[in-house]
Chain A
Amino acid sequence: MIPFPLLLKPEEVFRQLTELNRKVVQGIESLSRIRHDEFRSGATAKEEIYREDNIVLYRYTPMVERPFHVPILIVYALVNRPYMVDLQEDRSLVRNLLKLGMDVYLIDWGYPTRGDRWLTLDDHINGYLNNCVDVVSERHALDQINLLGICQGGTFSLCYSAIYPEKVKNLVTMVAPVDFHVEEGLLNCWTGCAPGQKNIDIDLLVDAFGNIPGEFMNFGFLVLKPFQLSIRKYIELIDILDNKEKLLNFLRMEEWIFDSPDQAGETFRQFIKDFYQDNKLIKGQVKIGTKQVDLRKVSMPVLNVYAEQDHLVPPASSIALERHVGTADYTARSFPVGHIGMYVSGKVQQDLPPFIATWLKARG
């Protein structure tokens, strides 16, 4: 007979339950004393350079006297807020790039309102992104700048670089989905990555909601790992409740995770249908406005960074880029982290910014 593996002594159970409760009660008390200023994100100084409708273009204050002459424009995704790249002083991709002498700009897409329901991918890429690139180029008297696209922003940057290769000096993509029909990704499966299986009717979704609520998007992301992200995470939190620094770090992440903007309806419609469901990007069938996106026209040097344990953008989705771009100067670099770990892992922040800076400067 197999021995029963549970050895829970009653006095130990009693001790663990009361200890658990003591920590939770003390934790609530500690939490109630914390103010927002203590965990506010965005450690690095920046100034507003350009504004158009809801979007704002920022330039981060350089940290060296003479920054590298070709600036970087960071293009983040629409589905989350971009301050993830500058979460806190010791977890800031932006800060680390600035310390390495780079000149860094960032597009903040803002919070779409109901009035933005009709904004399209054309507006975002040929409109806002193109205008921001022009603003940065003009400020530096350059014909070309560097683009750094993150996640969906990486996909946007790829489209942009294919449409306007003459404006992009070097392209860096981070955890960017390229091939959307990868079955490893649960998100891909749910939005319809199997041929003939579209799952959710996206037209109905957009017609019903208008803008897709941030809460709906967030719920979808949480359900990808429901018990880890909704239960285990908070039980493990109990262990750090008496460590203020760790608690503040946790609060910053928590604020960012649940700070999800609504998605402009028409942009969402085209992105999900054309990219996720029909996988048109790698087939050369995507049209942004009147402009065709042909990844073979991405002729500038490309650095493709991806996360080996990414459950949101599976590595296979990003790695596919190599087979489709036209450039002869293609570099791939991976890190043994998840999607968010790419920005917040201390180890990655030690290695990734110098890698990017060195790569860009060598192609300056």
Chain B
Amino acid sequence: MSWNEQADTLVKAFTEAQTKMWESWCDLIRTAPAPTMPSYSGVVDQWREIASQGLKAWTGESEQVVKDLAKQLVSAQDVGMRFFELSLSTWKAMAPKIESGQDWVTVLDSYSAQFRQQFLQAPHGGVAAVEGAAELWRLYLEQWQKLGQPWVESLRRAPRHFGQAAMGDGSAPIELMNLYWDAYERTFGRLLESPSLGYSRELNERLLKGFNAWLEFRRASYEYQVVLAETWAKAFEQLNHKLVSVAQAGEKVESLRQLLFLWIDVIEEAFLGVFRSEEYIRVQGRLVDTAMAYRIHEREIVEGFLKASHVPSRSELDEAYRRIYELGKEVKELKKALHGVTGGRSARRKVQS
């Protein structure tokens, strides 16, 4: 069988297997104890949606650890599927070239160079887009006094898109930009009217500082994603080298599982190597520090609004807890001193808060 025929046959087998999977998940859902959802015409992404809802139906009354484990199981299956889809698309791309007489090692190296380029485009493109928009947002921020909550929401939803971008999903940076514009429209695009708020120099200063902290965090996140994306690309190249050394040793990879575990070992080694580097440690430290700095500014902004609304804040509660803690310690010391007259260690047995 030629390379092209092999690739085509594999694609057909994979598609049939996906259909079978979708059918068996649908069977499972039809017999689930909880109410189910209508059936879909089958494609793999809809299988994922069905699997997710089927999980909820089957494990609805289970312990949390069981629910989490079931979710991990489906995720593991999903990872296997994604990996095989990636492998299949690689094989399909390579097959015509190998068929025409090129060496598979050269073809694979050239494919991974293209893959690396595609991977690295996503985070770098996002940096430029954010910097242009940031200037625009700053101008509007100086004119409007807004609650930053929608920005917090965008911050919380962003990591998923970062992850997808790191996987080479070209639409993920666009989704990220949409998040920011959406947050802008819902905040700076409308005036927040509240009798207890209104213009306040203190609030304005907090919002500006919070915004700066948020931008710093965004920049640090992108730097971090660039490092991860480079590592993914490096891992793919290392997989090629591994395949070459497997072939040179006269060994074969004869199962999906074997291929997947080979890939996991290679990628783990690639990431752990990067994790030890000074550059990664610096970038990770900056990511955490900017996230924490933003978190503190965010809290200060929220506390500004809470104060105006006569609601106790986190800082006030922490101060109260600190006083309780110090008083508790004082009481323990006093009890110890008081019971010390009864001698030795028996005093400590009385010390219970």
Contact = CB atoms under 8 A, between A and B. Distances in A.
Interface stretch (B5-13, B115-123, B125-133): B5-13
Interface in A208-245: 208-210, 223, 225-228, 231-232, 234-235, 237-238, 241
Interface string B13-25: 1101110110011
Contact of B17 (A14, A27, A223): A14
Interface stretch (A95-103, A110-118, A342-350): A110-118
A195 interface: no
Contacts of A10: 6, 9-10, 12-13
Contacts of B157: none
A17 to B, nearest CB: 4
Contacts of B74: 24, 28
A31 B260 contact: no
Given A17-B256, A234-B76, A205 B346 contact: no
A53 to B, nearest CB: 5
Contact of A231 (B76, B275, B282, B284): B76
B76 A208 contact: no
Given A5-B252, A7-B254, A24 B73 contact: yes
A355 interface: no
B87 to A, nearest CB: 8
B349 A208 contact: no
Contacts of A6: 243, 252-253, 259
A186 B348 contact: no
B330 interface: no
Interface in A1-36: 1-8, 10-14, 16-18, 20-22, 24-25, 27-29, 31-32, 34-36
Contacts of A356: none
Interface in A68-103: none
User: Chain B interface: which size bin?
Assistant: 35 or more
B76 A134 contact: no
B271 A227 contact: yes
Given A32-B70, A52-B353, A235-B76, A199 B59 contact: no
A135 B73 contact: no
User: Chain A interface: which size bin?
Assistant: 35 or more
Q: Which of B65, B272, B295 has the most A CB atoms < 10 Å from its CB?
A: B65
B281 A31 contact: no
Given A207-B296, A227-B264, A238 B243 contact: no
A251 B13 contact: no
Interface string B146-188: 0000000000000000000000000000000000000000000
A218 B211 CA distance: 29
A55 to B, nearest CB: 10
Interface in B45-89: 54-55, 58-59, 61-63, 65-66, 68-70, 72-77, 79-81, 84
Contacts of A34: 62-63, 66
B331 to A, nearest CB: 12
A114 B10 contact: no
Interface string B262-300: 001001100110011010011011001101110110010
B65 A255 contact: yes
Contact of A13 (B13, B62, B293, B351): B13
A204 B73 contact: no
A13 B73 contact: no
A208 B28 contact: no
Contacts of A209: 292, 295
Contacts of A28: 28, 54-55, 58-59, 70, 73-74
B10 A8 contact: yes
A141 B26 CA distance: 67
A22 B62 CA distance: 21
Contacts of A226: 268, 271
Nearest to A206: B292
Nearest to B345: A134
Contacts of A114: 317-318, 321
B10 to A, nearest CB: 5
Nearest to A184: B276
A2 B247 contact: yes
A225 B268 contact: yes
A309 interface: no
A12 B257 CA distance: 12
A36 B21 CA distance: 30
A8 B72 contact: no
A192 to B, nearest CB: 8
Interface in A186-211: 186, 189-190, 197-201, 204-205, 207-210
Contact of A232 (B21, B264, B288): B264
Contacts of A53: 328, 353
B78 to A, nearest CB: 10
Interface in B100-150: 103-105
Given A186-B275, A235-B80, A227 B267 contact: yes
B324 A115 contact: yes
B281 A228 contact: no
Interface string A232-271: 1011011001000000001100110010000000000000
Contacts of A29: 28, 58
Given A5-B253, A11-B13, A35 B63 contact: yes
Interface of B: 6, 9-10, 12-14, 16-18, 20-21, 24-25, 28, 54-55, 58-59, 61-63, 65-66, 68-70, 72-77, 79-81, 84, 98, 103-105, 243-244, 246-248, 251-257, 259-261, 264, 267-268, 271-272, 275-276, 278, 281-282, 284-285, 288-289, 291-293, 295-296, 299, 314, 317-318, 321-322, 324-326, 328-329, 332, 345-346, 348-349, 351-353
Given A28-B73, A35-B63, 15 more contacts: A1-B103, A6-B252, A14-B14, A16-B255, A52-B353, A118-B322, A199-B285, A204-B289, A204-B296, A205-B292, A207-B296, A208-B295, A209-B295, A235-B260, A237-B69
Interface of A: 1-8, 10-14, 16-18, 20-22, 24-25, 27-29, 31-32, 34-36, 39, 50-53, 114-119, 123, 127, 130-131, 134-135, 137-138, 183, 186, 189-190, 197-201, 204-205, 207-210, 223, 225-228, 231-232, 234-235, 237-238, 241, 250-251, 254-255, 258
7 contacts: A2-B244, A4-B247, A6-B259, A13-B13, A13-B14, A21-B77, A210-B314
